[in-house]
Amino acid sequence: MAVEKQKAAKQQQDEELSEVSVEQKLVALYTLQQIDSQVDRIRIIRGELPLEVQDLEDEIVGLETRVDNLDKEGKELHDAIAGKKQAIKDSEGLIKRYEEQQQNVRNNREYDSLSKEIEFQTLEIQLSEKRIREFTESLEELGGQIKIAKERLKERSADLDIKKSELQSIIDETEKDEVNLTEKSKANEKLIEDRLLVAYKRIRKNARNGLAVVQIERDACGGCFNKIPPQHQLDIRMHKKIIVCEYCGRILVDHEIAEQYSA
């Protein structure tokens, strides 16, 4: 039942709009364009700030992840150095034990076997010392990378605070106006039949400056600035049908329509 009522109301609205004169339709379209252009200007004031803020936030997340990974890598190197130092202590303990056992050997074969064990543990110590030097060098290099990453993170965080402050200031100044204009735009859309509204939005989306409805200025289209033939200008002034620019497709209105909007 509710759906049927909505359909009936929509049909009634369409019939009412179809009875509106072309001149009234042009005034409604021009009015909608002026409102939407004001919204565009507010968003232009914000410029690229929202994107800059988003880019900075993404960069900061990346830097924080990098610092965390570097810190983990540093901890792993510290653990590896500690492990090698313990290995050296273990090898030194074994060497001491083997040297004591050599004092009590019964033959040359046992002595040679213990000597090989001592030699092996000595090589293990040398290898561990080499690894410690390598890990220490890596740790020093890593410390430099962490320092640079943290400084970069601090700088970008400061930049983000500034950009957020700028953006918030602009939003505070313009948000109320944008909301009011957006509401006016939606209200004005209801005065325009669907077919025209769809065409308006399509043209506006494809236009670089967001202008779908433009005035004739010095016998030329106010959007693409191509000359309009005299006969077309006469048709536009007659307000008998919707005329579009044959070059850019924008809807054309004359000064009289613009004056009615101003009034």
* Domain residue ranges of the chain, discontinuous segments joined by +: 19-45+187-262, 49-175
Question: Do 19-45+187-262 and 49-175 fold alike per CATH?
Answer: yes
Backbone region of residue 165 per phi and psi (left: phi > 0; alpha: psi in -120 to 50; beta: other values): alpha
pLDDT at 54: 92
pLDDT at 142: 94
Q: Which of 224, 91, 74 is nearest to 137 (CA)?
A: 74
Asked: is 19-45+187-262 a CATH 1.10.287.1490 domain? The reply is: yes
Domain boundaries 49-175, corresponding CATH code: 1.10.287.1490
Euclidean distance between CA atoms 31 and 189, whole angstroms: 10
The answer to whether the predicted template modeling score (pTM) of the entire model surpasses 0.85 is no
Per-residue pLDDT of the chain (263 residues; tens, 9 = 90+): 554 555 544 454 454 445 568 888 999 999 999 989 988 888 888 888 888 999 999 999 999 999 999 999 999 999 999 999 999 999 999 999 999 999 888 899 999 999 999 999 999 999 999 999 999 999 999 999 999 999 999 999 999 999 999 888 888 888 888 888 888 888 888 888 889 999 999 999 988 889 999 999 999 999 999 999 999 999 999 998 999 999 999 999 998 888 887 65
